[in-house]
Amino acid sequence: MNILLLGSGGREHALAWILAQSRLLSGEGDTLYAAPGNPGIAQHAVLTALEATDHEAVVRFCEGKRIGLVVIGPEAPLVDGLADTLRGHGFNVFGPSQAAAQLEGSKGFTKDLCQRAGIPTAGYVRTTSLKAATAALENFTPPYVLKADGLAAGKGVVIAESREEAEAALTEMFGGQFGDAGAEVVIEEFMEGEEVSFFALTDGASVLSFGSAQDHKRVGEGDTGPNTGGMGAYSPARVLTPLLRGEVIERIVAPTVRALADEGTPYSGVLFAGLMLTSEGPKLIEYNCRFGDPECQVLMMRLEDDLGEILLACAENRLSRVSPVRMSKDVALTVVMAANGYPGTPDKGGRIDLGQAEAQGAKVFHAGTALAAGDLVASGGRVLNVTATGPSVGEAAARAYAAVDAIDAPSLFCRRDIGWREVGREAVRDGEAG
Ligand code: AMP
Ligand code: GLY
């Protein structure tokens, strides 16, 4: 069959790389299309210049190319209802409806759902004016967690240490800092603990575990400096033990899937749960309605099954008949190489020479690259995801950094400590064993 993948980042490069290996594409003439894609994705797919916001054009393309499966990578087209439009025209889509994508599109929606379904999460209040929000701070203790309700490209959360800082942040949010996304602000209780991400596929009825990961959101080493979309990640996250994973499925993911189905808006696609492992057990921080970026890159490096067949089964409501997903026992780790200036204004146009980076089995996923007169150049904030596997986080990191060092790209930087928490724990375990 023909498959269309929508998106243009490192997540979509990893998806394109693994989808291109699917049996779904093994027939004569079967083609993977990607829109708009990037130079890395172009190694595996035929690029086409579709805009995901132009639903009619996407439908026309799918009709013209007889697309058997559409995979929607990023959140914006999902929250915008592209999956609904395509399903309305009879296409198989991997990704939730507009109504179900509210899990990412509105933080208040998710908090209310958690409350209705008894899902463990931080206490909260939804506010729609500066006056109400400022008054509501009275009921919380510092640090104050303030979140713009809508999509804000990962930048809509402020953790304020003092009342003054919180009031200043609220003033900016209600003043239009995040546009419409900040017309409502959710104030939350601060949760202490270690963060972990868990991924599950669901067709609205069945839930299939898809692995765990931890990322590094801060730009600086030792998890310091401003937040980013993620500077690196590794999978699996051993802190999410099988016992805790069972608890997450039973107390968080399954009740979410059930509640949405009961309310007539079943969720179909991948549920990305951001979790806090607190002293009272795992609690939900937030949901995303897509794979994480760069978490997807490390999950795909470990996947041993046919992603195309799994996503098609999900789109066709057949997940109950899919066997548990097989993942390599190896660790996968990815290092994000970002353009100088990121997460502020990144330098664009810097030349990139990948050299022999992939010679030792590492994969370099393109996140923000372009071709300029035949040369590969940086075209975004996060530019490359240099990814490797190994029997431990330490070894996967060593291989990923060896590949990073083989790349000549003076306008890019990376953190040198991806995986540090787990590398430290491995050292303790090795010490105990030795
Ligand atoms: P979010 O975009 O909701 O994932 O929030 C971004 C980051 O803010 C999370 O990854 C956490 O590090 C932090 N965060 C969000 N909510 C809370 C909370 N209630 N308590 C503690 N930290 C939080
Ligand atoms: N890396 C975090 C995210 O994709 O939201």
Angle of CA points 197, 198, 202, to nearest 5°: 145
Q: pTM for this one?
A: 0.95
Mapped onto helix, strand or coil, the DSSP state of residue 382 is: strand
**How far apart are the CA of 309 and the centre of ligand 1, in A?**
34
- 83: amino acid identity, one letter: A
To test the ligand 2 pocket, which listed residue (215, 234, 270, 290) has its Cβ within 8 A of the most ligand atoms? 215
**How far apart are the CA of 382 and the centre of ligand 2, in A?**
12
**How far apart are the CA of 157 and the centre of ligand 1, in A?**
7
**How far apart are the CA of 29 and the centre of ligand 2, in A?**
35
Work out which ligand 2 atom sits closest to the CA atom of 294. 1
- 89: amino acid identity, one letter: H
Q: Which residues of 205-240 are buried (b: 16+ CB within 10 A; e: fewer)?
A: ebbbbbbbbbbbbbbeeeeeeeebbbbbbbbbbebb
Distance from C-alpha of 230 to C-alpha of 225, rounded to nearest angstrom: 12
**How far apart are the CA of 284 and the centre of ligand 1, in A?**
10
Residue 415 CB partners (closer than 8 Å, separation 6+)? 216, 219, 220, 221, 231, 232, 335, 336
Ligand number nearest CA of 289 is: 2
Ligand number nearest CA of 285 is: 1
| Tokens describing residue 313 | 């089964």
Q: How far is CA 82 from CA 27, 170, 178, in A?
A: 28, 32, 23
**How far apart are the CA of 145 and the centre of ligand 1, in A?**
8
Q: What pLDDT score does 432 carry?
A: 77
Q: What pLDDT score does 434 carry?
A: 64
To test the ligand 2 pocket, which listed residue (78, 196, 288) has its Cβ within 8 A of the most ligand atoms? 288
Q: What pLDDT score does 430 carry?
A: 81
Q: What pLDDT score does 182 carry?
A: 65
CA trace torsion 165, 166, 171, 172 (10° rounding): 70
CB of 298 closer than 6 A to ligand 1?
no
Q: What pLDDT score does 154 carry?
A: 66
**How far apart are the CA of 228 and the centre of ligand 2, in A?**
9
Distance from C-alpha of 63 to C-alpha of 78, rounded to nearest angstrom: 20
Residue with the smallest CA separation from ligand 2 atom 3 is: 292
| Tokens describing residue 285 | 């921080």
**How far apart are the CA of 115 and the centre of ligand 1, in A?**
18
To test the ligand 1 pocket, which listed residue (107, 111, 157) has its Cβ within 8 A of the most ligand atoms? 157
Q: What pLDDT score does 176 carry?
A: 79
List, for residues 378-420, the tens digit of each pLDDT value: 999 999 999 999 999 999 999 999 999 999 999 999 999 999 9
- 65: amino acid identity, one letter: K
List, for residues 206-233, the tens digit of each pLDDT value: 999 999 999 999 999 999 998 899 999 9
**How far apart are the CA of 285 and the centre of ligand 1, in A?**
6
List, for residues 46-74, the tens digit of each pLDDT value: 999 999 999 999 999 999 999 999 999 99
Q: What pLDDT score does 79 carry?
A: 95
* 416: phi then psi, degrees, rounded to nearest 5: -100, 5
Work out which ligand 1 atom sits closest to the CA atom of 154. 2
Profile the chain (434 residues) by mean pLDDT over runs of 10 residues. 98 98 97 98 97 97 98 97 98 98 94 97 94 92 92 82 93 83 87 97 97 96 91 97 97 98 97 97 97 98 98 98 97 98 95 96 97 95 98 97 98 96 86 72
Work out which ligand 2 atom sits closest to the CA atom of 290. 4
CB of 380 closer than 6 A to ligand 2?
no
Q: What pLDDT score does 232 carry?
A: 98
CB of 406 closer than 6 A to ligand 1?
no
